[in-house]
Structure 1
């Protein structure tokens, strides 16, 4: 059992074969994630380190099934206890991840893991369980859970290289990319925490303009500190006459490169910086050998962003969210349609920056 760390704090009688491990102390975990076809950066032990250090209201519990013959992990469901007096106490798999399939290969394994998650939620006093997915939908099916789709993801195959990829873009996208190359824009790969700080300043302004409270700087700082040494994260800049006009934070894992956070200077919109930056990011991903470029999560009500991402020859896929008990789904609406969401957006656009910062700090102590 060298290098294995099993928690005995919560005994799960309904699923005796399921154990709770600490991925930060268990040498099996990250290798299991690397080898599993659904494994993503958000499954790695470093993600737990980032979340728990950034958000005091979250605690991860990693449910695993092992092979009896050699004690290797065969299936897993990481869930996070998210505490909030506003949104309720719940289990989420996995907070702030675009998609994060359960690491399973059979429906029977999912049933055992779900049994364990349900018992754990009862012991912790959670009102519901939320599981976010992409590719594992057929393996998740269970009469006890329901599902909703409020988000989509746009994915672009990088087969054939830039010369073939650009042929799949719409005429508008190809023309705009060509025009952007004439605007004196400079593409740059960032390299240190000072760059992260510069990105966050522009990201903060972008979120304020959109009326969306920002995640705390600590979250981005820790993402950089933990994942940049292994090259699982890259920060890309677009500058104009030395001034930062766009920043893209990219996650990289196995054959997949994903754009997860974007910052844009609205005063540079006429320079087509978003098209320039995304195209340069795609070309960089090709040169580094990645096979898939993921444009990240987009709310189904965000028509403008859905249209933008649809111009790049992408395949659009659902990002379902599964809930236990299934009755939870009856009371859910798209976040963009909620009155509270609209009120927060309007307030965010008009409050002073220090108040906006505090709003983000407060709200992200209840989200996940």
Structure 2
């Protein structure tokens, strides 16, 4: 495994340049995202560069709630493909398994891959969606479903106002978004990520203009919000939230349409809508309603001791959802503070 060069993305001047020079240039490989997770959860980095292939392998070592260790490429990320050129995926997996054994790690995970395809069936499969932003506004509009077009016109008539924030203005905007995020997670029966996670997103990403926050206002009150990350020519829709009591205003659809126009006008080529569980029909229909094209994404998970691939499915539905829905928001936030570091 001599081709794998250990690297610290937080101190290495080569890391981000290698990401940007590589074939995929993915946001979730960038040091600003890696730093955000380390700053929030104090995860241990275990990252590598393959210099002659312009390949970065971002990994963090995290602990499960039972105290077992796993190496994850990459936690809380909507796609983390690995492009290692002439290095075969199976060889890379075997060499990373050797590394994991020396670190006494129990499990190795690759999250949200598309072109990285090791042998064997994937451990889990998701849907991804991407929208081509290079078309003109008329063509982008015609790519929307008829229901999306109606919703956007309706929202415009209600007086909804849209603004996008980055740099210093993003600090207040991220707090406004977080209020909507807590309401949305409560509605879905899930705890929100900790507030400090979003504060680090502002400091490491938004303040440096590597992302933007979109907010939709009704009478100066935020009713819908979205967080977007930026890498080279691609924009990634990472988080969305809204006040359901004002859903009749269709601000979610209007905000996304304005984001499409905004980022297309700034010269970006692609809008990625992130990954979606196949059973979340409402969510993937929302994304496809904007003309986004479906792709398939995979997780590949391994038992380090045996080297065998294992099946895996996120435990997002169960009795815990009804428990979280009944929690007041302050208690729900406390749950997120405690639990998220173990769910990476």
Q: TM-score range by the shorter chain?
A: over 0.9
Q: 1:365 aligns to what SS in structure 2? A: helix
Question: 141, 145, 160: which is aligned to 2:118?
Answer: 141
Match of 1:40 in 2: 26
**Structure 1: how far apart are the matches of 2:58 and 2:241?**
30
Match of 1:105 in 2: 85
**Structure 2: how far apart are the matches of 1:329 and 1:301?**
21
Are 1:63 and 1:113, in contact at CA under 8 Å, matched by a contact in 2? no
> Measured at CA, do residues 105 and 263 of structure 1 come closer, stay the same or move farther in structure 2, by a change above 3 Å?
same
1:15-54 alignment runs, 5 A limit: 15-54=1-40
Match of 1:333 in 2: 313
Are 1:214 and 1:357, in contact at CA under 8 Å, matched by a contact in 2? yes
Deviation at 1:88, TM superposition (A): 3.4
1:280-319 C-alpha deviation (Å, 9 max, x unpaired):
1111011111111111221111121122112111111111
Match of 2:110 in 1: 131
Deviation at 1:74, TM superposition (A): 3.1
RMSD of aligned Cα (Å): 1.9
**Count of aligned residue pairs for this structure pair:** 338
1:94-243 alignment runs, 5 A limit: 94-108=74-88, 110-137=89-116, 140-142=117-119, 146-190=121-165, 191-243=169-221
> Measured at CA, do residues 37 and 16 of structure 1 come closer, stay the same or move farther in structure 2, by a change above 3 Å?
closer
**Structure 2: how far apart are the matches of 1:150 and 1:134?**
9
**Structure 2: how far apart are the matches of 1:66 and 1:236?**
37
Normalised to the residue count of structure 2, the TM-score between the two structures is 0.92
1:122-153 C-alpha deviation (Å, 9 max, x unpaired):
1222222111244423xx333xx641344211
> Measured at CA, do residues 87 and 344 of structure 1 come closer, stay the same or move farther in structure 2, by a change above 3 Å?
farther
**Structure 1: how far apart are the matches of 2:13 and 2:79?**
24
Q: Which runs of 4+ in 1 moved over 6 A?
A: none
Deviation at 1:353, TM superposition (A): 2.2
Are 2:19 and 2:56, in contact at CA under 8 Å, matched by a contact in 1? no
**Structure 2: how far apart are the matches of 1:291 and 1:149?**
29
1:45-104 C-alpha deviation (Å, 9 max, x unpaired):
122211111013x2111122233xxxxx63232211111233832111011110011142
Comparing 305-314 and 282-291, the one that deviates more: 305-314
Are 1:151 and 1:298, in contact at CA under 8 Å, matched by a contact in 2? yes
Match of 1:276 in 2: 254
Q: 2:59 aligns to what SS in structure 1? A: strand
Are 2:114 and 2:296, in contact at CA under 8 Å, matched by a contact in 1? no
Are 2:27 and 2:229, in contact at CA under 8 Å, matched by a contact in 1? yes
Match of 2:51 in 1: 66
Are 1:256 and 1:291, in contact at CA under 8 Å, matched by a contact in 2? yes
**Structure 1: how far apart are the matches of 2:17 and 2:196?**
27
Are 2:7 and 2:47, in contact at CA under 8 Å, matched by a contact in 1? yes
Normalised to the residue count of structure 1, the TM-score between the two structures is 0.87
Comparing 242-251 and 85-94, the one that deviates more: 85-94
Q: 1:192 aligns to what SS in structure 2? A: helix
Q: 2:54 aligns to what SS in structure 1? A: strand
1:18-42 C-alpha deviation (Å, 9 max, x unpaired):
2211122221111111111212121
